[in-house]
Amino acid sequence: MSQLNAQLTPAALKAMPKIDLHRHLEGSLRLETLLEIAREFKLDVPTDDKERLRPLVQITNDPPDHEVFLSKFEVLRHFYRSPETISQLAYQAVADAAADNIHYLELRFSPQALARVRRFALVDVTDWVIKAVQQACQDFPIEVGLIITLVRHDPLEQARQVAEIAFDYYGKGIVGLDLAGNEVKFPPGPFIPIFKKAKEVGLGVTVHAGEWASAHGVRQAMEELYADRIGHGVRTIEHSQILRLARERGVAFEVCLTSNLQTGVVHDLRHHPLVDMLDLGLQATINTDDPSLSNCTLTHEYELAVQKLGLGYDELRQTILNATAAAFLPPDGRNRLTAYFEKHLPGPDPAPIRPRTRSSAPFFYGALD
């Protein structure tokens, strides 16, 4: 093993400067703060002990299933009780990322989810998040771009309203538009006009696809929704033509290891297709998805990549440089980001990469399409 590979200890991985391109604000909430909010507003959840609250808002002993995963957000939306609580939660999400030595973060949020219970104006919620994040960026050594997320299973008219806010705030804190939600039951067709306009406006486009449904969703995201990046996209490797199309277009993939295990996308992290994605030349990156809901950090995800998948230093570095190239920044911003990481992470390790032993077990639950 090379010297750099041998130095990939948890402490070294924590100290490594990082990028997270796929992190949801609604899944990045401190449990202690949620407990405080529950007490202040007398919410109908346990308020005496965070360990009693934990299983309602975090994956604990839950079965690996995407609908169970999504159900946690139904509970979480009841905590967005005031402008002050929303601002506090957004500020803390950035502070926690900075504490994990994340140098550049793209934090996505759904104004409609934050606004729903108290019927806040969507534009007001967006303002609160932007201002809180801007303040956090002044207080901590981190740069943040915000992505607005549309949800497949929300009303389409509401999605149009939220998208218009993203268009209006492009260049004023908002850098991209995302489509998330249940891809199994809700195909993306109705959203095509929205994402066409997003591309025309200049927003970066990322789409959750190829996670719970087949690789064909990745093709739809690229060809019909103008996706620059794919959220998860791990099932792309099931279809050679779609894989080749993604590689030719330079589409980046926002891979989230723990999340994929908890939602049932993979049986075992040792069989996660991240290794194959990198070997096949896809622009894969490593991200958290929902760090508080999944009880993880980006450092933890790097540890899994090293310990479970056998990734070495060179491969981790490449995923970070893949992320700099895929960031929703103007060209000079991406160049600046790349220069920063090339300076702070030594160049490629000349030692050969140690071969990894892979199990012949299937990657995914269910039949392959």
pLDDT digits (tens, 9 = 90+) for 320-332: 999 999 999 999 9
How far is 125 from 103, CA to CA, in rounded Å?
25
**pLDDT given for residue 365 in this prediction:** 29
Backbone angles phi, psi at 306, to 5 degrees: -75, -50
Q: Which residues of 83-112 are buried (b: 16+ CB within 10 A; e: fewer)?
A: bebbbbbbbbbbebbbebbbbbbbbbbbbb
Backbone angles phi, psi at 293, to 5 degrees: -65, -40
Query: Which of 211, 238, 301, 303 is the catalytic position?
Result: 211
How far is 181 from 312, CA to CA, in rounded Å?
33
Is 121 within a domain?
A: yes
Check residue 355 and report its DSSP letter.
Answer: P
Supply the range of the domain harboring residue 169.
3-342
Is 350 within a domain?
A: no
Is 355 within a domain?
A: no
For the chain, 369 residues long, give each residue's pLDDT as a single digit of tens.
455 676 899 999 999 999 999 999 999 999 999 999 999 999 999 888 899 999 999 999 999 988 899 899 999 999 999 999 999 999 999 999 999 999 999 999 999 999 999 999 999 999 999 999 999 999 999 999 999 999 998 899 999 999 999 999 999 999 999 999 877 788 889 999 999 999 999 999 999 998 877 789 999 999 999 999 999 999 999 999 999 999 999 999 999 999 999 999 998 999 999 999 999 999 999 999 999 999 999 999 999 999 999 999 999 999 999 999 999 999 999 999 999 999 999 886 444 444 443 333 333 323 223
Which residues have CB under 8 Å from 222's CB, separation 6+? 230, 245, 246, 249, 251
Is 364 within a domain?
A: no
Average pLDDT, the chain: 91
Give the total number of structural domains in the chain.
1
Is 361 within a domain?
A: no
- 42-84 tens-digit pLDDT: 999 988 889 999 999 999 999 998 889 989 999 999 999 999 9
Is 145 within a domain?
A: yes
Is 328 within a domain?
A: yes
Is 211 an annotated catalytic residue?
yes
Q: What CATH code is carried by the domain that includes residue 152?
A: 3.20.20.140
Is 16 within a domain?
A: yes
Q: How many residues does the chain have?
A: 369
On whether the CB atoms of residues 312 and 275 are closer than 8 A, the answer is no
* Partner residues linked to 265 by β-bridges: none
